[in-house]
Amino acid sequence: MLSIVKNVWVCFYFFPLFWLSSKIGCNFYPLCEICGFRIHGQNVPFEAVVLDKSTGEGVIRAKDKLDCELQKEHTFTIQAYDCGEGPDGANMKKSHKATVHIQVNDINEYSPVFKEKSYKATVIEGKKYDSILKVEAVDADCSFQFSQICNYEIVTPDVPFTIDKDGYIKNTEKLSYGKERMYKLTVTAYDCGKNRASEDVLVKISVKPTCKPGWQGFNKRIEYEPGTGSLALFPSMHLETCDEPITSIQASIELETNHIGKGCDRDTYSEKSLHKLCGASTGTVELLPAPSSSANWTVGLPTDNGHDSDQVFEFNGTQAIKVPEGVVSTTLKEPFTISVWMRHGPGAHEKETILCNSDKTEMNRHHYSLYVHNCRLILLLRQDPSEAENYKPAEFHWKLDQVCDKEWHHYVLNVEFPTVSLFVDGTTFEPFLVTEDYPLHASKIETQLTIGACWQENSGHENDTETVSEPAPGGNARMAQFFRGNLAGLMIRSGKLENKKVIDCLYTCKEGLDVQLPEEVASAVKVEFNPNQSSLTVEGDDIDAFDKVMQHISYLNSRQFPTPGIRHLRVSTAVKCFNEETCVSVPDVEGYVMVLQPEEPKISLSGIDHFARGAAEFESQEGVTLFPELRIVSTITREVEADAEPEVTEGADDDPTVQETVVSEEIMHNLDTCEVTAVGDELDGEHESLEVDLAQLQQRGLEMSSSNLGLVITGVNTMANYEQVLHLIRYKNWHTEALFDRKFKLVCSELNGRYISNDFKVEVNVIHTASPVEHANNAMVQPNFINPVHHASVDLSGHNLVNAHQASVVPSAATIVIVVCVSFLVFMIILGVFRIRAAHQRTMRDQENGKENEMDWDDSALTITVNPMEVNTHTHTLWTPLCPQEVMNRILSEIQTVSMAANESSIQESWTQQ
């Protein structure tokens, strides 16, 4: 084997020689000569040259430069030839073939080159790694010595990393995310010939905080603006599992709203209105209505005023109320429904009554009742005495955790004897115990319906539920079995059962969680809601798909005026790995949705507030319309940013200018109550009333109740419909002789009194028409009295008896005449006072008419001054001398005093108004 040193070829450019020698036998000549060599092979970069023919020595030399990197070794065969016989060299002989191996020696002409342009790695703080990453360089030289990378080096000084000869980088100390989040290192490489890399490489090592499995990108506070639809709760949230091999993920999202109203944000209309909105038919009776002029039996019962006008009543074990007779039938027509909202707990050993119908006197029989006992809900229903004398179901027991958990729950009992179905929060529960009893004995004793306790006669006799033996203070009857908790929306609906659709509607919240699944992840993740959508569960095995679903979970509140405040959020997560065990512990995350204060509406009532009508209109069949031109408008006031910057004049103050302006805009929403009350004296049912067309009310789904205080229109409806109905209210009075004016007040409200309108007051004046008096005179003059006649003294001795009779009769006749005259004058004085007062009031109305163009006068009254002393001389001449002068003067003085006082009062009030 021959070897050629590559650097000789490159540096000195001459051909090294490989000496050859060959001995070829000669048949014809004693001395043979070697004339040449022949190389066999394709593309052999070598040639053979004879140096000495006689000795057969020669040399192999390269035709061109050799490159070890292209071919490290060459192998070929060579033969020698003699010069042949004769002068022309014919019959040339050749030797056997010899194999030649040539190895090209390498020189260190190339430098190391890194395989990557840059390297990146991520480490977690607080951990020392055996190897973070590996860098690798290569060398193009062909020899083992010069092609191997013998060393790597970190060029960047003072970094807590080191690199070994194989290119593995590791940290020399524990890294801190707070100290440095990313390190940038420059690394170079050396081959075994000490050649350095042509270009150094950049290595970036990122430091992550200590990996803690959990949700990242979660905002604790989420603000919700009313009326903006749904709001994404976790738009940037993702789950960190620290690269554990996850097989399944389950997350539960809970929206805590139990502190809002009756468990969540619901419409706060009256329970009766809510039943209508949910599609319940008529016949529903509300036993716990908001206190009003027509339903006042709940007045004085403690209420919970902290839940945004939800009508919630509190019972602390001492309060109970009686439901007036006629509100609900005491003998329920089957089938029937009882529904109630209740918050109760913890349980007590005593019975706590929700609703009870018991004997009013003499006995203690409970006809039907709904009560709580030891966390059980029990319905007692005794059959009528007309039933056959055999055992029948009488008590239905349900053992429920909801009864004592101190949370709001909605209970509906559908009774279709002998079956009773209970729905709690929309879910059906069957009774676990039903006891039987005999029907009640026939009796004519009236019953008393009570709420919060049972009305019992203190007779000491044993009743259906307990023995009452202790005397009650102040009487022979008392309340027993008091309830402790909160009640709301207690309703009885006789004759028909509530269907599931209505029950679900009554319970469903107006706020909750929502999710719109993206199509690409809909099949990879499973989502389930609870009935009121206050919580949901997400299950899946793909972390990326799971994150996308979580990012699409939103909060939605469909109320026009939602209850402001905090709704707490909680996300609980369970993660499993390949061994079906919990390998990653993900801590719960908590936050809250802040529902901002909605822009509150201002309900304004306006129209004609002062007018007069003739007495005949009040006494007519139609009466007088109280609100002929009533307008109901609701507006909200909001602040908006100004479009342009205000101009600042030269020399103005440097104080910042407010860039917001107040804008008022009209909005449309419903009303649920309008109440008309009489101002001053209550309505006297014997001669006055307020009336409205009931057919028009029913057509609009409204109801009306009336009392001596006024009337109340209830029902959820538009402001336009309430306007039309209020236009129909009429006032009638069929005894207007002593009536001069009447005042009324109108108030409307929304959401069970959450938003209340202004007090719109209307004053109605009565115009009395008077007939003219004959011979009336505006000036009062003294009458001309006939001078008394003096008779001469005559001797009438023959007529003494007659004279004596006349002396005795004349005083009696004068007394009678005086009495009649005084009575007539007193009557005329009273009539004059009334006329003066009427004239004074008309004067005041004329003055007010100049200020208010809306005043409507049908007629003008006449001012009549009556001279009570002016009489017909032809008819009363005989009576005039009989009235004593002193009496007449006193009467005239009284009339003038009354007239002057009235005029002075009128002038003084006129100046006061001016």
pLDDT per position as a tens digit, 526-552: 999 987 789 999 999 899 999 999 999
Tokens found for residue 744: 């009324």
Does domain 217-255+510-595 sit in CATH 2.60.40.680?
yes
Tell me how far apart the alpha carbons of residues 372 and 385 are, in angstroms, rounded to a whole number: 26
Percent of the chain with pLDDT over 70: 74
460: pLDDT strictly greater than 70: no
- Which pLDDT score, from 0 to 100, does residue 817 have? 61
Between 221-230, 505-514, 727-736, 870-879, the lowest mean confidence (pLDDT) is in: 870-879
Tell me what pLDDT residue 325 has.
85
Res 800: pLDDT:
36
Greater pLDDT, 370 or 347 = 370
Predicted confidence band of residue 457 (pLDDT cuts 50, 70, 90): low
Task: Give residue 343's pLDDT band: very low, low, confident or very high (50, 70, 90).
Answer: very high
Q: Is the confidence at residue 164, as pLDDT, over 90?
A: yes
- What's the N-to-C CA distance of the chain in angstroms? 140
- pLDDT, mean over the chain: 78
Confidence at 845, pLDDT banded by 50, 70, 90 = low
293/299 Cα distance (integer angstroms): 10
pLDDT at 210: 84
The domain 2-105 is classified under which CATH number: 2.60.40.60, 2.60.40.1180, 3.50.50.60, 3.40.50.740? 2.60.40.60
Closest CA to 509 of 260, 234, 254, 231: 260
Quick one: the chain helix, strand, coil %, rounded to 5?
15, 35, 45
Higher pLDDT, 278 or 831: 278
Average pLDDT over residues 632-639: 88
Domains of the chain, residue spans: 2-105, 113-208, 217-255+510-595, 271-457+478-507, 602-640+661-767
Tally: H helices and E strands in the chain: 11, 55
Looking at the chain, the whole-number percentage of residues with pLDDT higher than 90 is 39
Q: What's the pLDDT at 770?
A: 62
Residue 100 near residue 3, CB atoms below 8 Å: no
CB under 8 Å to 59, separation ≥6 — which residues?
Answer: 17, 18, 19, 20, 48, 49, 51
pLDDT in tens, 651-687: 444 454 445 567 788 999 999 999 999 999 999 989 9
In angstroms and rounded to an integer, the radius of gyration of the C-alpha atoms of the chain is 57
Give the separation between CA 56 and CA 787, rounded to whole angstroms.
Answer: 206
Residue with tokens 């080191």: 162
CATH topology of domain 271-457+478-507: Jelly Rolls (2.60.120)
pTM of the model: 0.62
Ordered DSSP codes for 97-131: -EEEEEEEPP------EESSSEEEEEEETT---S-
- DSSP state letters, 822-876: HHHHHHHHHHHHHHHHHHHHHHHHHHHHTT-TT---S---------TT---HHHH
Q: Which of 246, 268, 233 is nearest to 535 (CA)?
A: 233
Q: Which of 260-274, 287-301, 320-334, 467-481 has the lowest mean pLDDT?
A: 467-481
Domains 217-255+510-595 and 271-457+478-507 share a fold: no
Residues 326-346, mean pLDDT to the nearest whole number: 84
| CATH node for 113-208 | 2.60.40.60
9-13, 37-41, 740-744: least confident range? 9-13
As a whole number, mean pLDDT of residues 86-114 equals 78
Q: What is the 3-state secondary structure (H, E, C) of 434-499?
A: EEEECCCCCCCCCEEEEECCEEEECCCCECCCCECCCCCCCCCEEEECCCEEEEEEEEEEECCCCC
pLDDT at residue 793, as a whole number:
36
- The pLDDT, as a whole number, for residue 437 is 79
Q: What is the mean pLDDT of residues 175-179?
A: 90
